[in-house]
Amino acid sequence: MSGSIISENTLQSVISIVKEASSLMVGKGYEVFEKDGFANLVTSSDIAVQEFLTGRLSELLPGSGFICEEEDFHDTSKELIWIIDPIDGTANYSRGIADCCISVALAKKDEGPVLGVVYSPARGELYSAIKGGGAFLNSKPVHVSDRPFENGIFCCAMSTYRKEFAKTCSDIIYDVHMQSNDTRRWGSAAIELCLLASGFVELYFEMRLQPWDYAAGALILSEAGGCIASFDGKAPSLYAPSLVVAANTPGNLQRLLGIVHDHMDSLPY
C-alpha cells in the first residue's frame, strides 16, 4: 500500500471497473476504422471501453486527470493521472487473436505509476500491482525469472508506425537474437511486459512506445523484481513517446541497452 488514496480497496475497485469494461470488448460486434494511415487501427470497442473507463474512474477518484490513447483525452494538470490504453493490441483484437488487453495505470505526478492493471479477457489473465505491494497474476504473486541473457526469450517489434526506424530495429533484434535463446512479437506491449514480470520471458525492446502502452506494465514489472528503462537508462517518460528496454535483471538490462547503443548514438525522434 502506498499513501492513503492508493489502497488495496482502490485496486479492487479498479479491477472491478476494468472487468466490467471488458464486457464491451467480448461477445459484441464492432466497427474497424483507420487513423493516421493504414497501419494504425481503432475499433468502436476501443472508443466504448475508453468512455466507460474515464467515466467510472473519474467517479472513483474525483479530480483525477487522464492520458488516454483514443480521441486526445489528455489532462495532465492533476496530481493523480490515469494512463489508459482501452485496447492494447487492437490489430490482434480486430483479427480475433487473443493477445489484447485493457491497460490502466494510476500515476502520481511526481512519483510515476502507483497502481497498474492489465486485463486480457481472451487470455484469462489479470495482472495487477500497487507500488510497494508486489505484482500479481490472477491474485497469485508473480516474479521475474533468473534466466541469464543467453537463455532469455526476447520480445520486440519492428516499429510498426514509424517504418523509417525498422532497419535499426532489425539490426538490434538480430544482435540480441544471436546472443539469446529466441525472439517473439506478441503485438501487445502491455501483455509482453507482464509476461516478463511473470517469468515467462526475459528481454524486451521497442523503439518507440506511447506511455499508455507501458505505464501499467512498467509498474507490474518493477513490482515483480524486473527493470525497465528508456534510451538514457532512466525510467521511460509518462508524458512522451519513449524507447523502452526491459529485462529480468539489472545486468541483462545493461547488456540489452549496450546493444541498443551499439546501433544508435541518440534517439532518432
Residues found near Ca ion in the complex (CB under 5 A)? 69, 85, 87, 90
Among 71-79, 165-173, 174-182, 186-194, the segment contacting ligand 2AM (CB under 6 A): 186-194
Among 65, 89, 226, 236, binds ligand 2AM (CB under 6 A): 89
Among 115-123, 145-153, 183-191, 244-252, the segment contacting ligand 2AM (CB under 6 A): 183-191
Rounded Cα distance between 105 and 193, Å, is 14
Rounded Cα distance between 184 and 188, Å, is 11
**CA-to-CA dists, residue 146 to 152, 161, 203, 224, angstroms:** 9, 33, 12, 12
Among 14, 61, 85, 155, binds ligand 2AM (CB under 6 A): 85
For ligand 2AM, which is the closer residue by CB, 130 or 156?
Answer: 156
Among 70, 202, 206, 223, binds ligand 2AM (CB under 6 A): 206
Does 209 sit near ligand 2AM (CB under 6 A)? Answer: yes
CB of 195 to ligand 2AM, least distance (A): 13
**CA-to-CA dists, residue 2 to 35, 46, 84, 115, 201, angstroms:** 38, 30, 20, 9, 28
Q: Is 2 exposed, middle or buried (0-12, 13-18, 19+ CB in 10 A)?
A: middle
Does 157 sit near ligand 2AM (CB under 6 A)? Answer: yes
Among 87-95, 131-139, 216-224, 238-246, the segment contacting ligand 2AM (CB under 6 A): 87-95
Does 2 sit near ligand 2AM (CB under 6 A)? Answer: no
Q: Please name which of 223, 222, 214, 225 lies closest in space to residue 147, comparing C-alpha atoms.
A: 225
Given ligand 2AM, Ca ion, none, residue 223, with its beta carbon under 5 to 8 Å by kind, binds none
Given Ca ion, ligand 2AM, none, residue 202, with its beta carbon under 5 to 8 Å by kind, binds none
Among 39, 111, 174, 258, binds ligand 2AM (CB under 6 A): 39
DSSP letter string, 96-135? T-S--EEEEEEEETTTEEEEEEEEETTTTEEEEEETTS-E
CB of 233 to ligand 2AM, least distance (A): 21
Q: What is the DSSP letter of 235?
A: P
Q: Yes or no: say if 34 and 40 are a contact pair by the CB < 8 Å rule.
A: yes
CB of 24 to Ca ion, least distance (A): 14
Q: Yes or no: say if 172 and 254 are a contact pair by the CB < 8 Å rule.
A: no
Binding-site ranges for ligand 2AM (CB under 6 A): 39-40, 69, 85, 88-91, 157, 160, 187-189, 206, 209, 213
